[in-house]
Amino acid sequence: MARVFANTIGSVAKPPTLLILIPEEHCGWCEQFSQEGYNVVHIVYPPSPDTSFRETLKDAEAKIIALGADWGLISYGLATKDAETLLSRLALSIADMKACVHYCPDAEGSRGFLAKDNQSRHVPVTFHLATSQEALHAAILPLEDPVNLGYSLPTHSCHPVKVYTYPLVSHSPPFPLSTKAPVLVEPGEQSSSDPYNRSATGLSLTRTLELLKRQLGPHFNLEKLWDLHTYYEFVERDAPRTMTTMVSSPYVNHVPTMTGGVGYKDLARFYKYHFTKVTPPDAELVTVSRTVGVDRIVDEMIFKCHHTTEIDYFLPGIPPTGKYIELAMVGVVAFRGDKLFFEHLYWDQASVLVQLGLMDPTDLPVAGVEVARKVMDPFGLPSNTLLPRWKESEGLSID
């Protein structure tokens, strides 16, 4: 029978529903989506020999109707015959289905995987395929061209059929099943998954959420959540309040120095003793640009301060020099539901060391404060000052 994973985000008053078809041992992905703001109805798939798929669908439909909201479908390795059964069996509630996501269908063609609404328009669908699924990809590909839809799209509409392919991943079992859902990963646990699979799984999750949130919601103000997090970090300098903006098992990685923390305890300790207490009092954070996605923000920033404290996260083990520094930074901030999941922070460490007199830039392709200032004023400062051969091309044809 179908099992329900209730939405875990209290601020979502009327959660949309997802019907997820996935093996029992991988139902952590159901928990993943419940923490994104959805009620999840789980069907074990493929069904066991002694289980009636039709009866299970009947039970799932009853649960979907009882939850009383628009819903979407996510399948993993769904076979053509079961896809056709699913769409016919759920005919009573199909009008409320707003999105479909199929991971590596066990099919050669698109039959059974393309649902239509009562106006004969495609229910928005995203396919995640291994590149080895060439026949299926070829069957779906024409529908990515609006000319082949059979109806016109308003200019404000997104194209309803999208196909993403991923290299060097398994299509059977579907590649996300080769790794744990992020909600289940424990601090210190090393993944056995290869880089291609990790990349495909992460990208496909974001792309899935892009469709689901566009068609179903819920919608969260990620900029407000990020600004609140940085306010607690740099203005209030309150580690416990900073942690309230994060999931129960978050992580932070300051990439150049590998400082931060993995898991609630280590990260709370890091924020309390090695971040909020050591940030210089005159520190400034200036946003240069911001890109907001469905589940993450990418911030381009300039960090300014006098080096009057030992800044554990930028310059661990380096006593205060009193010198002024400016550094260009990029932060990749991911969210799960209405909480921060992780931060990846990148900056030019060589630039910092040059500014503090800890690195001699002579004969090295590194610079000091100019790095940050050119980010702020790209047209006002020259390029190629570290490129000795730049003069050799002066006056040469550019055609």
Q: Domain locations in the chain?
A: 3-215, 223-388
286: pLDDT strictly greater than 80: yes
C-alpha 72/C-alpha 74 separation (Å) is 7
Q: State the chain's mean pLDDT as an integer.
A: 94
Q: Which CATH class is domain 3-215?
A: alpha beta
d(CA 84, CA 53): 12
Q: What is the pLDDT of residues 290-319, one digit of tens each?
A: 999 999 999 999 999 999 999 999 999 999
Residue 2 and residue 55: Cα distance in Å, rounded?
10
Token readout for 174 is: 């579907």
User: Rounded to an integer, what distance in angstroms lies between the CA atom of residue 246 and that of residue 257?
Assistant: 22
The reply to whether domains 3-215 and 223-388 share a CATH topology is: no
Q: What is the pLDDT of residue 11?
A: 93
CA 59, CA 82: separation in Å to the nearest integer?
16
| % of the chain surpassing 90 pLDDT | 85
352-394: pLDDT as tens digits:
999 999 999 999 999 999 999 999 999 999 999 999 999 999 9
The yes/no answer on whether domain 223-388 falls in CATH 3.30.1360.120 is: no
